[in-house]
Each structure stands twice: as structure tokens, then as C-alpha cells.
Amino acid sequence: MNKLRYEDYIEQNGSLTYTNTGVSMLPLLRQGKDMFIVSKRNGKRFKPGDVVLYRRPPDHYVLHRVVEVRKDDYVILGDNCVNKEYGIKDEDIIAVMTGYIRGGKEHTVSEKGYRFYSFVWLHTIPIRIGFMKAKIRLKSIIKRKKR
């Protein structure tokens, strides 16, 4: 039996509601608890703050936030990640997040609370990355000292 790819499902239905796997979009999306809603692309370029579903070859799907729009591509970063991804092109992006379900309640990306979260998250990237890297280094030092 052939498995339907995300892009095929979205093309046929216009949107997809799915549960996330992993911790890259914490604290917005919690693995096994929250769901995200993505909708078909509208043909426009994405803007900083948009959360997009894209495919890394061969068949690895990723939901991360656009942090920079460049002439021919995007720079993308998960909310809980320290490494930016460069070179993500329009043709790599399948859909854009239009909402999420948390605690059984559906939210849209146009709500004030989400817009505030997205603004803060986008404008504190250097601080957050610095803090996360320092935390990783500290854990590494503590681990070495325990040996």
C-alpha cells in the first residue's frame, strides 16, 4: 500500500491537521500533546515569523519558523533550536501553519497571543541561541566532572 505524502494530502484537501514529533518547536508545540494545522501555499513569499512545513530530501518533513527572507531562499529555525538552516527554497516548502490545537482548543496564527509570542520569539533569537548554547556547554562540563 502506498503512503500518501503530506504534499499530496494537502493538495487534495487544502489543509492538514497533524501531531508534531520532536522538540524543535517547543514551547509552542509539545510532542504528543499538541497538533498543528497547515494549509496549502497561496503562491506568495513567506515572511519572517511564518511557520512552514518543508521537506528535506529524501523524505524528512520539518515544521520550523522563517527567520529571514533572502532573494532566492529562506533562513529557517525551530523555536527550540540553535542552528539555523540556510538555502530553503520556495519549492521545498509545502504549506504554512495557520493554527494549532493545544489543550483541546484550536487557535489561529492571527490571534493576539500567538502574534505576540511569534514577535518575541523572532526578535530574541540571538539571546535565546546564546542562552541555549551556554546551557549545553554547562551540561557538558558537569558531565565531564562527574566522570
Q: What digits encode the pLDDT tens for the residues 10-37?
A: 999 999 999 988 999 999 999 999 999 9
Q: Of 57-61, 75-79, 130-134, 143-147, which gets the smallest average pLDDT?
A: 143-147
In a domain, 116, yes or no: yes
How many CB atoms are closer than 10 A to CB 95? 25
CATH at 68 = 2.10.109.10
In a domain, 21, yes or no: yes
Cell of 35: 497538533
From residue 94, alpha-carbon distances to 107, 115, 134 in Å are: 21, 22, 34
Domain that holds residue 81: 6-146
Q: What digits encode the pLDDT tens for the residues 30-41?
A: 999 999 999 998
In a domain, 33, yes or no: yes
Contacts of 26 (CB under 8 A, 6+ apart): 79, 80
> Identity (one letter) of the amino acid at 74?
Y
In a domain, 54, yes or no: yes
In a domain, 65, yes or no: yes
Beta strands in 15-90 (DSSP E): 15-19, 35-40, 51-56, 60-69, 74-77, 85-88
In a domain, 46, yes or no: yes
- Total tally of structural domains belonging to the chain: 1
In a domain, 1, yes or no: no
